[in-house]
């Protein structure tokens, strides 16, 4: 029987099979193969006790994506939440997370939250920069009661048929957004309405919540941002989406796009084809990754 791991507490797994949930351990053979099941894994299980919903994991299906910390597999979409005000937008972090999403092969979506606090609409500029690159940007007011202006409906549409994980600094409104999404959902199962009641800070393990069939949100405790240090600094240009196709124009193989002459990226920058703040943040992230690389081994 095929199921989905929706929760993991030490070596116990909760596995969803249609509308039933089984508790299972993994077969010993996984340890020998040095693979541990993680939340998000599609698994083959054998039922041991139908009445008490006990099972054992027999096989882990190949993963399409894998995140090391927190351990999650088969995430298809990363929701990168940025606050317009309070706290002010952290675009350096956003660019790091975008690069990481590209590196992992997971589609990123940018959510600009708390637009109600940004009276001068400074977020419009941010929206433009990232839309020009080709990213989807959604404006939200998570605190707003359900209405057409909150952006929650649009976000929900984006989440559909994906396994979604939220990322962003503490205080940007991730919990408020997730709760608004669930509030807005007609619940069929206790599982979802439970999340509403419990609110934040009560999850002790990574968990997948089902919004509807084929749509999930990963909830991870104490997790706000991903550690991107596994990206090789020399490869960072591959993960800056608008830089990647321009690298062929660089005169030097292995061009860092920082000091070299006849650089495709710098030329595009001069022609206004690349946003200069994006370029500045590229240089900053490059230097940070390079510095970290010194201490890697
Ligand atoms: P998290 O740390 O990312 O989960 O952030 P929270 O969801 O806990 O939100 C942090 C604070 O911002 C809370 O006091 C929320 O009520 C508030 N907040 C969240 N979204 C909005 C919004 O769209 N507008 C305003 N004005 N406040 C918001
Ligand atoms: Zn270059």
Which tens digits make up the pLDDT trace of 239-250? 999 999 999 999
Please state, in angstroms and rounded to a whole number, the distance separating the CA atoms of residues 44 and 61.
8
CA-based nearest residue to 119, from 152, 74, 85: 85
| pTM to 2 decimal places | 0.91
Map residue 70 onto helix, strand or coil: coil
Region 102-126: what's the mean pLDDT? 96
Pick the atom of ligand 1 nearest to 176's CA.
7
> Span 179-194, mean pLDDT?
61
Query: Does 185 have pLDDT greater than 80?
Result: no
Q: Ligand 1 pocket, 171 CB below 6 A?
A: yes
Query: How does pLDDT run across 21-79, given as a tens digit for each residue?
Result: 999 999 988 878 889 999 999 999 999 999 999 999 999 999 999 998 889 999 999 99
Give the number of whichever ligand sits closest to the CA of residue 237: 2
b/e burial code for range 77-95 (CB count within 10 A of at least 16 → b): bbbbbbbbbeeebbbebbb
DSSP state of 117: G
Q: pLDDT value at position 162?
A: 98
140 alpha carbon, closest ligand: 1
Instruction: Please report the pLDDT score of residue 112 as a whole number.
Output: 98
| Ligand showing the shortest atom-to-Cα distance for residue 152 | 1
Residue 238: pLDDT band with limits 50, 70, 90: very high
Least Cα distance to 223 among 169, 182, 289, 180 occurs for 169
Residue ranges with CB less than 5 Å from ion ligand 2: 250, 255, 257, 263, 265
What beta strand segments (E) does 27-76 contain?
Answer: 42-49, 54-60, 66-67, 72-73
Determine which residue's CA is closest to atom 22 belonging to ligand 1.
114
Cβ–ligand 1 distance for 170 under 6 Å, the answer yes
Q: What is the pLDDT of residue 145?
A: 66
Position in ligand 1 atom list of the atom nearest CA 172: 3
Task: Give me the count of residues in the chain.
Answer: 297
């Amino acid at each position: 029987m095929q199921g989905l791991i929706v929760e993991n507490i030490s070596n116990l797994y909760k596995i969803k099979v249609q509308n039933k949930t089984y508790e299972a351990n993994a077969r010993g053979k996984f340890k020998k193969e040095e693979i541990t099941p993680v939340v998000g894994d599609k698994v083959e299980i054998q039922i041991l006790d139908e009445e008490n919903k006990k099972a054992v994991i027999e096989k882990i299906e190949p993963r399409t994506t894998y995140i090391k910390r927190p351990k999650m597999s088969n995430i298809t979409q990363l929701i990168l939440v940025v606050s317009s005000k309070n706290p002010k937008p952290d675009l350096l972090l956003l660019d790091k997370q975008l690069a990481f999403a590209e590196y992992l092969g997971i589609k990123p979506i940018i959510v600009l939250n708390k637009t109600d606090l940004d009276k001068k609409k400074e977020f419009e500029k941010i929206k433009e920069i990232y839309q020009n690159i080709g990213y989807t940007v959604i404006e939200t007011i998570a605190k707003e009661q359900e209405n057409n202006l909150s952006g929650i409906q649009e976000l929900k549409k984006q989440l559909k048929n994906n396994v979604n994980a939220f990322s962003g600094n503490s205080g940007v409104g991730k919990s408020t957004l997730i709760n608004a999404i669930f509030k807005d959902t007609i619940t069929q199962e206790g599982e979802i309405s439970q999340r509403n009641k419990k609110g934040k800070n009560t999850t002790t393990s990574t968990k997948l919540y089902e919004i509807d069939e084929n749509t999930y949100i990963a909830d991870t405790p104490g997790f706000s941002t991903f550690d991107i240090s596994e990206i090789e600094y020399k490869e960072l240009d591959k993960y800056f989406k608008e830089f990647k196709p321009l690298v062929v124009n660089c005169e030097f193989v292995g061009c860092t796009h920082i000091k070299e002459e006849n650089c495709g990226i710098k030329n595009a920058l001069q022609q206004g084809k690349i946003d200069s703040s994006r370029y500045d943040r590229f240089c900053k992230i490059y230097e940070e990754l390079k510095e970290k690389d010194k201490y890697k081994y």
